[in-house]
Structure 1
Amino acid sequence: MAHIDYYFSTISPYAYLAGDRFEEIAAKHGAQISYKPLDIMALFARTGGTPPKDRHPSRQEYRAQDLLRQAKALGMDFNLSPAHWPTNQAPSAYAVIAAQNAGGGDVGAFVRALMRACWAEEKDIAQDDVIKGCLEATGFDPSLADSGLLTGAETYARNLEEAVGAGAFGSPFYVTQDDARFWGQDRLEYLDRHLADTL
């Protein structure tokens, strides 16, 4: 069975704009997904990236235009300046880790619910009630938000190290078991073709 390591930040607008296309591609090819949420700002610092607020104005302006353009093209609700961004990524990431470990629900749907809460619903995904609502809506026990915090913290830190080791430097970042790397939701077509062995 094919396997994909999915490195992402729960506050990444580009990961949000992937929607459910990544999961659809993985299902199409029978690929298993390992969800690996990480601290995107720490990843930038480790791999030569620059946080959005510190980028040259030209880059910031282009990012703003391109995010709105992509959201419109995809038909997705999107707020370029959400009320609760940036926010503490750790609580939502720990919940993703706990949900993946516990099973019983749809991890991909949970991740998408968190991102939609941030980028389309003006919710703070660092807040316990928001995380629990997303857990419950995607088939998980809401109490997972309060469990496995030590494991979550350890895994969250390890995901960052694994991402750096795997050559990841942004979000979303997809790494296949044969070390093919794809950065950005706009490269999902290439991931699809790679898994089909047509690229």
Structure 2
Amino acid sequence: MAKICEYYFAPQSPWAYFGHARLIALAKQYDVQIDMKPIDLPKLFSVSGGLPLAKRPPQRQAYRLVELKRWSAHLGLPLNLQPKFSPASGDAASKLIIATKFAHGTDAALELTSAIMHAFWAEDKNIMDADTLAGLASAAGHDGAALVKASETTSVQNEYEQFTNDAMAASVFGAPWYIVDGEAFWGQDRLDFVERAFQK
């Protein structure tokens, strides 16, 4: 039986963007199933002591930019340090990802997540806009308009809330967050340790 990696993330997180493709590659390499759970990150922050970017002290905000630039260069991933539509809510994008998972499975949802993250962080697109999201889903080979409509249903909203509640119950306080065999790993810079967990 394949291992399972619980993957808590928010599509508007640059750190999730940096780790997303590498997690998928590692999961394929070690035959691990990804249980993807997009979450309401601001809601999580509100109960775990985290602060939205605008409320963080200036020195923390400044160092964040240094680290973003450093990781972008290290991974060879394009990144706008200050996206046009930031700060962005991840709600609409997260619910589209969930609707895609319902309709087309995890692999399709992971692929669309990649496109959404790239659109926001590398192409300055507005991932809070329904037409933009529909276009990204259509470009991925789906009926974008239908998926956006499905993303607005109660069942998808309930799943989104459940994933966020799952995160709280698991003591998650940031994104991305990975859980393998009950062991938690916070941040894309912990993927080396996630890989070791996959190998056990």
State the TM bucket, normalised to the shorter chain: over 0.9
Give the 5 Å matches for 1:1-199.
1-103=2-104, 106-142=108-144, 143-148=146-151, 149-176=153-180, 178-197=181-200
Aligned residues: 196
Runs of 4+, deviation exceeding 6 Å: none
Are the equivalent residues in 2 in contact too, given 1:4–1:174 (CA < 8 A)? Answer: yes
Q: What per-residue deviation string (whole Å, max 9, x for no partner) do you get for residues 61-120 of structure 1?
A: 111100111001111110011011122321111111111111166221110110111111
Higher helix content, 1 or 2: 2
Using structure 2 for the length normalisation, give the TM-score.
0.93
Are the equivalent residues in 2 in contact too, given 1:106–1:139 (CA < 8 A)? Answer: no
Report SS of the residue matched to 2:155: helix
Report SS of the residue matched to 1:4: strand
Higher alpha-carbon deviation: 138-147 or 49-58: 138-147
Give the letter for the 1:189 counterpart: D
Shift of 1:33: 1.1
Are the equivalent residues in 1 in contact too, given 2:48–2:173 (CA < 8 A)? Answer: yes
Q: What per-residue deviation string (whole Å, max 9, x for no partner) do you get for residues 35-60 of structure 1?
A: 11111111111111111111111111
Superposed CA RMSD in Å reads 1.3
CA distance in 2, matches of 1:22, 1:99: 19
CA distance in 2, matches of 1:19, 1:196: 19
* Percent of aligned positions that are identical: 34
Are the equivalent residues in 2 in contact too, given 1:10–1:89 (CA < 8 A)? Answer: yes
Are the equivalent residues in 2 in contact too, given 1:14–1:172 (CA < 8 A)? Answer: yes
1:66 to 1:7, Cα distance in 2 relative to 1, 3 A: same
CA distance in 2, matches of 1:42, 1:71: 27
Structure 2 gaps of 5+ residues are none
CA distance in 1, matches of 2:46, 2:121: 24
Higher alpha-carbon deviation: 18-27 or 138-147: 138-147
Report SS of the residue matched to 1:174: strand
Shift of 1:19: 4.1
CA distance in 2, matches of 1:186, 1:138: 28
Are the equivalent residues in 2 in contact too, given 1:8–1:173 (CA < 8 A)? Answer: yes
Shift of 1:136: 2.1
Shift of 1:187: 0.8
Are the equivalent residues in 1 in contact too, given 2:98–2:109 (CA < 8 A)? Answer: no
CA distance in 2, matches of 1:134, 1:36: 20
Structure 1 gaps of 5+ residues are none
Shift of 1:13: 0.7
